[in-house]
Copies of this chain bind each other. A is one copy, B any other.
Amino acid sequence: MISKIVVLGSGNVAYHLVKALSISNFTILQIFSRNQKTGKELAKLCKSKFTDKISSITKDADAYFFAMNDTANETISSQISISKDKLLLHTAGSLSMNIFKDKTNNYGVFYPFQTFTKNIDCDFSKVPICIEASNTPSLKKIKYIAIQLACKSIEIDEEKRKKLHLAGVFASNFMNHCIYIGENILEKSDIGKELLEPLLKQSFKKTLSVGAKDSQTGPAIRMDHQIIGKHIDLLGEKSTESEIYKIISKSIYKTYNIDNEE
């Protein structure tokens, strides 16, 4: 089965993947990264070797995890030289597994559906792994890796995986940025950010318990022009924040008032 692994990449995903693989008794033979600093740090963390040269990537591993950005995953996979029996995997949400099809018959996707930040703990066993494979033996091997990491794996095809990635961008990245804008408004007005905490906690609790649709409150649902006008004035008519304010308010109003409009 799979035992020896090379990880390509040294960013947030690579970092947490390497940590999880290491404690699950896989051997990380080598870290490849074009970033010497983060690559060497990650290699040190898992007591493996480091290279930034494609030609020096070891041929001795059972599986190769491509955990870089999409462009790098495509470029490096087209240049790597390994034998046909190896398993090639990438960890990306919106990239086809066919980037590997000219290299080997054994390839697939190992997409951990989570937000990863170095130095912020993540219980990898709680991360759903979205998997896809070129053939049945590869699928078995991918499932084996997930099981060793104590992760739940979900078979999901490329089209659905792309939708999932997109949903994650809204639900995590954009959700988080809206909180950032709120925090930033308070900071610029010299109001303590800790005032937001009870609101955030209750909002999160509601969303997790009844879903986002039934949790919504605020002036946009009823298109309260008096409040919305005051808020746009505070943000400045031409600011990026007021553009965001207007388009999300419009979207919220449409979500809850579609029956009236039809």
Partner of A128, one of B189, B195, B247, B250: B195
Q: Please tell me if A147 contacts chain B, counting CB pairs below 8 Å.
A: no
Shortest distance between the CB of A158 and any CB in chain B (Å)? 11
Given contacts A126-B198, A200-B208, contact A234 B162 (CB under 8 A): yes
B-side contacts of A71, CB under 8 Å:
226
CA distance A49 to B129 in the complex (A): 57
Which of A94, A126, A172, A231: most chain B CB closer than 10 A? A172
- Is there contact, CB below 8 Å, between A168 and B199? yes
Partner of A171, one of B156, B174, B178, B220: B178
| Residues from 136 to 156 in A contacting B, C-beta threshold 8 Å | 154, 156
Shortest distance between the CB of A209 and any CB in chain B (Å)? 7
B-side contacts of A1, CB under 8 Å:
none
CA distance A54 to B116 in the complex (A): 56
Q: Please tell me if A26 contacts chain B, counting CB pairs below 8 Å.
A: no
- Is there contact, CB below 8 Å, between B164 and A186? yes
- Is there contact, CB below 8 Å, between A69 and B212? no
B-side contacts of A94, CB under 8 Å:
226-227, 230-231
- Is there contact, CB below 8 Å, between A251 and B198? no
Partner of A179, one of B165, B166, B175, B240: B175
Smallest CB-CB separation from A175: which chain B residue?
B178
| Residues from 223 to 238 in A contacting B, C-beta threshold 8 Å | 224, 226-227, 230-231, 234-235
Shortest distance between the CB of A256 and any CB in chain B (Å)? 10
B-side contacts of A231, CB under 8 Å:
94, 165-166, 169
Partner of A189, one of B120, B163, B193, B224: B163
CA distance A210 to B235 in the complex (A): 25
Given contacts A115-B202, A117-B217, A207-B176, contact A170 B181 (CB under 8 A): yes
Minimum-distance CB pairs A-B, first 3: A171-B182, A173-B218, A180-B212
